[in-house]
Structure 1
Amino acid sequence: MRMRIDAFQPLGRALMLPIAVLPGAGLLLRLGQPDMLDITFIAAAGEAIFSNLGLIFAIGVAVGLARENNGAAGLAGAIAFLVTIEGGKALLAVPPAVTATFADQAARDLATAAWKAKELAKLSVPAGILSGLVSGWLYNRYSGIKLPDYLAFFGGRRFVPIAAGFAGLVGAAVFGIGFPVLETAIDTLSRWVVNAGPVGLFIYGTLNRLLIVTGLHHILNNIAWFFLGDFHGATGDLKRYFAGDPSAGAFMSGFFPVMMFGLPAACLAMYRSALPGRRKAVGGMLLSLALTSLLTGVTEPIEFTFMFLAPLLYAVHALLTGLSMVIMDLLDVRLGFGFSAGLFDYVLNYGLATRPLLLFPVGAVYFGIYYATFRFCILRFDLKTPGREPEIADKPASANAPEDLAAGLVHALGGTGNLRSIDACTTRLRLVLADPAKVDEARLKALGARGVVRPGGNAVQVVLGPIADRVAGEMRALGRGTRESGDDGKARWMAALGGDRNVLEIAIKAGRMRASIADIAAIDPVAMDKAARRGWHEVSPGVVHALD
């Protein structure tokens, strides 16, 4: 049975929202430490974010999954998480050894509370992700629920946090009663990864690159960076690294040679391989992509320039990433990042690193390997990399005119009526379309898209680079404006309200619909629930009010 990859994409997208706070947290934590500015309150501010990642994931994932990223889902996520953790503490069985050395009851109570808090903190991120998933689903399913008149105040979006609280009780039972099983499972997984040594790191690095095409690499990263290992209560490679664990960083170090040296070398190879008359035209773009990878570690705009043109070349890139993970581990190099493996993170976290200077000889070798490999393959197989493709693909997207770009993208994607969902991660638009066949890929590339991905079903992704989130907002605004004034929006409401004969009067403006109805029983409640994404109700006899 073919797996519906697009069903997993909302999770990968939603995980990007809480992950976005990590660069700020890492910056504050490092600047405040003794080897930097030595300012305690700045370090404490960064530690506050790392200590509450579970709550942050609960809120961020819920908002990321909810329709229109509504904040009510975030409140529901927070409630579900708090109920899960505090309820789990009450159900957690305490080993007798924890309190055996204390004679005073007050001391035993303090020891018990401290032990429960420390143990459940190890599972705070998975608890947060699950709380966010459930809360986002509850919002999408029940934000328009109608309750009897005497309970009407608790209907609609207000119902969602209440339902999330009860869902948190189930989570409390899972994490409280099931804690020994969960702890053993994560510990077993961590030991397997550690015992796998270079093989495990190679598989991780290779899969990390291969999964980029689906957007599911974020899920793999979360397992490695936030789940695996334990250092004084800090779990995951990333959290342990910033907590001072000298063994942490194995799942981050190998990205530095690839992102700071390898992919910039690939850009140089593509520039040198461009047709002589077009090098000047593509040089600025390739330089921008190379600097983005070198400085920040954002690589997708580069990778999508050759991912589909030369799948074999991309497979080599993935294997070289896995090999880099192994090489850095064998050399006992430990590097870490709060955002990605770029120069900014390298300099900022230099004081926490182990043998960081070895990055440069390894990076120099990787620069040569990538340049030679890309140069040979481009010329040998006549790959249509930038500067070698038809002229239509040469027009870059303008980061200074997002509204014009957004309008062009909407048109190339089949119009607002074809866009069911518009979201974005770091570098790409993540879309769900009514009819993917309407997408004009040539037009998208003419607008500056570096690649178009079709993961499956009705899902389509458009790689734009760091401007993706801003452009997504402009596209959503264009879509709302069209729905408010267009015939398609009115036709949708008319059909849900029972047709022309049943609608006496209708007004649609600014995401709201108000209609006078001849027969309230003729309304199609299922169609209304779908059309009125933020809820609808009969405000007075024969008058219906709905929020799009």
Structure 2
Amino acid sequence: MRALIDRLQPLGRALMLPIAVLPVAALLLRLGQPDLLSIPFVAAAGQAIFDNLGLLFAAGVAVGLARENHGAAALAGLVCYLVTTEGAKPLLHAPADLPAAAADLQLAAWRAKEIAKASVPAGIVSGLVAGALYNRYADIRLPAYLGFFGGRRFVPIAAGLAGIALALAFGGGFPLFEAGVDALSRWVVAAGPLGLFAYGVLNRLLLVTGLHHILNNMAWFPVGDFHGATGDLKRFFAGDPGAGGFMAGFFPVMMFGLPAACLAMYRAAPPARRAGVAGLYLSLGLTSLLTGVNEPIEFTFLFLAPALFVAHAVLTGLAMVVMDLLGVKLGFGFSAGLLDYLLDYGLATRPLLLLPVGAVYAGLYYGLFSWGIRRFDLKTPGREAVAGAVEAVLPGDRAVAFVAALGGADNLTSVHACTTRLRLLVGDSARLDRDGLARLGARGVLDLGGGSVQVVVGPEADQLATSIRRAAGSTAGLSGARAGSVRREDPAETVPLSALRQALRDAGPTDRFVRGKRLILEGCDVSAGTCFTDLAGVRAAAWVGSSLHLLIEADVDPDLLG
């Protein structure tokens, strides 16, 4: 089970990149509708994103899984997806009742509509294949006469070949795929309230592992069909009056329940300390109310009171059931917050019923949290032992402080992010300074074993991850070897990265590959070798065919070269 979770977590993270595009798609689509601004070209622009979600998933998943998140993986994902979907179309067998008039046009339109039902699964599979191919072949060396196609250029070629195999699978197996989706859709409908309850509970319980994103994708994109639009989310924006069941239940929890929990935690703090935590709880509550981003609140009590978190998961499942029984259908492009509620009000069914249900949920959460905190003396923020306050530092200094609190640059193997969490691989989790991370504003730290660590920081996670990667490559004075260095075999010595980076910029290679202590540069001018003359840490520079080979005094980490 541990191995399965470890394999699925990168996929959960990668799925967030294309999903992050949905808010702008929903915004453009709704603003352009006749009941709002009535601007057809704006609505068409938003619809274009929904119509091409498969492309977005192919590129986004590939980049999310690839080492260095390199753009070559995105290109490979797009190539694989296009070959898969276009190659599958001729393999689809048309029904006998297609109109005879303009038969070729009718057949082409039918095939395009059918394959569009599989666009998101095809995009995800294409992204998975492209990401795996990039990680396997990004540094491949080919014979000299094929040298131009080596390295990262080889990855889209390999992805195109893989796309042919996928085209055979999707084209030949499309009847099975369609039957499977139909069976799943019928099961979901037949499951009724029980299925919605299970979805709501699991959605929250899987939060700890980050696998709830995978569960969401199953509900939001493949299930159901409304004039070619598949999935609860896409069908909602296509005008399906039956869509929205897998989204409506989140609104009472995120807009009313969790903000009320913040109020309960604030009022549970001793009066003398309430002023110190008022800003924290106000920020958390407003974030959940307005945008539906709720993980920072959940991690405030997830480990302090697991029983409260289980109750929260059960209440989420019940909200799904209640909203469905009341016939309420709501949708969102980002999450279940006030902004999405107002924007998509015109597409919703019985949206005003959210208000009384939300009021009940606010009372439930406030009462449950007030009782639980006092009954079990939970040390929620404001009730814990007095410690250092959240440090106010400049953005660059904060990233440096995060690197130090994470055990130093030499303890960081990889730094990525999803919506609200840093997703890290560390050498030794015992070196983490949890109190220091808390002072820097982290709301929780999850040690998942095997060096996998997640730090909950809120919606700034992606920007902070980028800053941490930069700080780890340019800041001296942290634990272990200097963060701004590539370590030699002797950890007491370092190769100055700043000079190496500058020399690389001056040389202007079109591509580069790393082989242990060898850095191979492609597309350099013949004079580029002089950029590395007498450069500290570079033992030798030599031309091999059209490639410039640099022998470095230590193993090269590509992430540290910028």
Question: What is the TM-score with the length of structure 1 in the denominator?
Answer: 0.90
Q: Which residue is 1:345 aligned to?
A: 340
Q: CA deviation at 1:402?
A: 2.3
Deviations 1:101-152 (A, max 9, x none): 31x5xx1111111111000000000000110111111111111111111111
Q: Which residue is 1:33 aligned to?
A: 33
Is 1:160 equivalent to 2:158 in the alignment?
A: no
Q: Which residue is 1:489 aligned to?
A: 486
Q: CA deviation at 1:22?
A: 0.4
Number of equivalenced pairs: 520
Q: How does 1:219-230 map to 2 (within 5 A)?
A: 219-230=214-225
Q: 1:434 aligns with which of 419, 427, 434?
A: 427
Q: Which residue is 1:463 aligned to?
A: 456
Is 1:416 equivalent to 2:419 in the alignment?
A: no
* d(CA) in 1 for partners of 2:222, 2:517: 40
* d(CA) in 1 for partners of 2:64, 2:366: 39
Is 1:170 equivalent to 2:173 in the alignment?
A: no
Q: Which residue is 1:43 aligned to?
A: 43
Deviations 1:290-329 (A, max 9, x none): 0000000000110000000000000000000000000000
Is 1:129 equivalent to 2:135 in the alignment?
A: no
Q: 1:364 aligns with which of 359, 366, 372?
A: 359
* d(CA) in 2 for partners of 1:487, 1:363: 51
> Do the aligned partners of 1:143 and 1:534 also contact (CA within 8 Å) in 2?
no
Q: 1:140 aligns with which of 128, 135, 150?
A: 135
Q: CA deviation at 1:539?
A: 4.9
Q: CA deviation at 1:33?
A: 0.5
Deviations 1:455-476 (A, max 9, x none): 3322100001111111111111
* d(CA) in 2 for partners of 1:427, 1:507: 31
Q: CA deviation at 1:533?
A: 9.3
Q: Which residue is 2:17 aligned to?
A: 17
Q: Which residue is 2:532 aligned to?
A: none
Matched residue type, 2:24: G
Q: CA deviation at 1:490?
A: 4.0
* d(CA) in 2 for partners of 1:326, 1:167: 43
Q: CA deviation at 1:481?
A: 2.4
Is 1:193 equivalent to 2:196 in the alignment?
A: no
Q: Which runs of 5+ in 1 are unaligned?
A: 501-505, 515-526
* d(CA) in 2 for partners of 1:513, 1:507: 10
* d(CA) in 1 for partners of 2:219, 2:196: 10
> Do the aligned partners of 1:296 and 1:340 also contact (CA within 8 Å) in 2?
yes
Matched residue type, 1:239: K
Q: Which residue is 2:549 aligned to?
A: 544
Percent identity reads: 63
Question: What is the TM-score with the length of structure 2 in the denominator?
Answer: 0.88
Matched residue type, 1:21: V
Q: CA deviation at 1:96?
A: 2.2
Deviations 1:180-202 (A, max 9, x none): 11111111111111100000000
> Do the aligned partners of 1:395 and 1:448 also contact (CA within 8 Å) in 2?
no
* d(CA) in 1 for partners of 2:466, 2:384: 30
> Do the aligned partners of 1:335 and 1:356 also contact (CA within 8 Å) in 2?
yes
> Do the aligned partners of 1:417 and 1:488 also contact (CA within 8 Å) in 2?
no
Is 1:474 equivalent to 2:467 in the alignment?
A: yes
When residues 207 and 535 of structure 1 are mapped into structure 2, their CA distance, relative to the original with a 3 A threshold, is farther
Is 1:509 equivalent to 2:500 in the alignment?
A: yes
Is 1:206 equivalent to 2:201 in the alignment?
A: yes
* d(CA) in 2 for partners of 1:513, 1:343: 48
Higher relative contact order (CA 8 A, sep 6+): 1
* d(CA) in 1 for partners of 2:279, 2:349: 36
| Secondary structure of 2:203 counterpart | helix
Matched residue type, 1:396: V
> Do the aligned partners of 2:330 and 2:349 also contact (CA within 8 Å) in 1?
yes
Q: 2:304 aligns with which of 284, 304, 309?
A: 309
> Do the aligned partners of 2:519 and 2:549 also contact (CA within 8 Å) in 1?
no
Please report the RMSD computed on the Cα atoms of aligned residues, expressed in angstroms.
2.6
Q: Which residue is 2:250 aligned to?
A: 255
Q: Which residue is 1:74 aligned to?
A: 74
